[in-house]
Amino acid sequence: MRTSSTIRSGRTVKRTTRAAAAFAAGALALSLTACGGDDDNGGDNGGQGGGDKEPAATVTLPKLDGESLEVAAVWTGAEQENFKKVLAEFEKRTGAKVTFVPAQDPIINFLGSKIAGGAPPDVAMLPQPGAIKQAVDKGWAKPLGNEARAELGRNYSDGWQDIGRVGGKQYGVYYKAANKSLIWYNAQVFENAGAAEPKTWDELLTTARTVYDSGVTPFSVGGADGWTLTDWFENVYLSQAGPEKYDQLAAHEIKWTDPSVKEALTTLAEIWGKRDYVAGGASGALQTEFPASVTQTFTGGDQPKAGMVYEGDFVQVNIAETDAEVGTDAKVFPFPAVGDTAPVVSGGDAAVILEDSKAAQALATWLASPDAATIQAKLGGYLSPNKNVDASAYPNDVQRKIAEALVAAGDDFRFDMSDQAPQAFGGTPGKGEWKALQDFLKNPEDIAGTQQRLEADAAAAYGG
């Protein structure tokens, strides 16, 4: 296998299987140890885990009285509100005024319209490495200055710095990360059914049957958001085809008509093709947005709409909107091994400067600091790749174990495949991979047709 792979966005990131072992070990430990809710090291998801005490400063920021900034991101709901608290602390420390600008997917198109109108935000949170590359290619993104690069170097592994580089220059600060290889479940449903946490795909199918036989639909799927379906595929594909094939498909060095893709889609159909296994069937799932796919798994007492929901660590923000407590009512296990090794897929959001200024550089420096990440870590539903964020900042043992596993992985990890692709293929609602997999969820018997559509769209987006 290759010791490194060049991502579509032009960065080279070392990728070995040690990351999978580190993540899987940490994730496996969390499901065994997180038998209770919040402990005495953290608060609830509604506060900063210790009241309103201001965190001790470890980063030096300039005074910016009278300066104004705009920050654009696609985040909504609790995720947006929690990030605004991080921005509020920046305002307190610098005197600057920061306005959050809600963006829409695909964010590159949103930013393009803002730039065309002469009103770009100063900083944008870009959710795909491919989007960073596009922003650089279009001349929008500005390199990080000395202070931001120094703060990044103190707090991030080389791997997390590398995926924010384009052409050897640092453009991105990966403020937010995600472990996207987790399945969350309603503990009461599992207890009533006598279901066990599976470690393999075959065991997952057995668990699903056990839950179904108890009278509860096994899975909730947020099919209205195509990115959740790409995440399903990536986990199956990484575990089944292996890391080398994963890297090749991510770079479009092999075609989507490859037999390995057929095998992964066939495996997915073992769940997606059983209509009674997906809440609302395919039509219902395709009308269910991601937040609702989570909340409907943890509402309705012991008769929720589904017993399990697949997605990353960030679902805790959505679980917090229900009466369920993470670690007690809502538990989690690693995405089961389809092949020899359980998959571990990571994602993230990077701060990129569009309007260069002292204030914008200071905000990038702030977001690279443990001070900023610690504020949001205490609020829950957030994971930082910043290695100097103390694990005790996370509000529960589940999140703490996930964070420790992320840091332990160091430079070695597999980044979300669709996020590496050009946005036209991997990050646009109603197009490319998102649309092809939504159509496949609707008709999981059409494996060959799905492969052909995926390859045609990929070839067009990658340029050949």
DSSP 22-73: HHHHHHHHHHHH--SS--TT---TTS-SSTTPPPPP-S-----TT-EEEEEE
Q: Is the pLDDT of residue 266 over 80?
A: yes
- % of the chain at pLDDT higher than 70: 87
Contact indicator for 130, 91 with CB cutoff of 8 Å = no
- Reported as a single tens digit per residue, the pLDDT across 338-367 is 999 888 888 899 999 999 999 999 999 999
d(CA 185, CA 241): 26
Buried b (16+ CB within 10 A) or exposed e, 247-263: bbbbbbebebebebbeb
Query: For residues 270 and 463, which has the higher predicted lDDT (pLDDT)?
Result: 270
pLDDT, position 406: 81
Contact indicator for 315, 258 with CB cutoff of 8 Å = no
Q: Is the pLDDT of residue 129 over 90?
A: no
Q: Does domain 182-343+421-464 have CATH number 3.40.190.10?
A: yes
Helix (H, G, I), strand (E, B) or coil at 113: helix
CB atoms closer than 10 angstroms to residue 153: 12
What pTM value is reported for the model? 0.75
Contact indicator for 336, 310 with CB cutoff of 8 Å = no
**Position 411 confidence tier, pLDDT thresholds 50, 70, 90:** low
Where are the domains positioned within the chain? 68-179+346-404, 182-343+421-464
For the domain bounded by 68-179+346-404, which CATH number is listed? 3.40.190.10
β-strands 182-186, 308-310 pairing: antiparallel
Residue tagged 């393999």 (tokens):
200
Fold match between domain 68-179+346-404 and domain 182-343+421-464: yes
Q: Is the pLDDT of residue 22 over 70?
A: no
- Reported as a single tens digit per residue, the pLDDT across 103-113 is 998 899 999 99
Q: Is 115 exposed, middle or buried (0-12, 13-18, 19+ CB in 10 A)?
A: middle
Amino acid residing at 7: I
Amino acid residing at 412: D
pLDDT, position 29: 43
Per-residue pLDDT, averaged over 201-225, amounts to: 98
Q: Is the pLDDT of residue 34 over 90?
A: no
d(CA 344, CA 416): 9
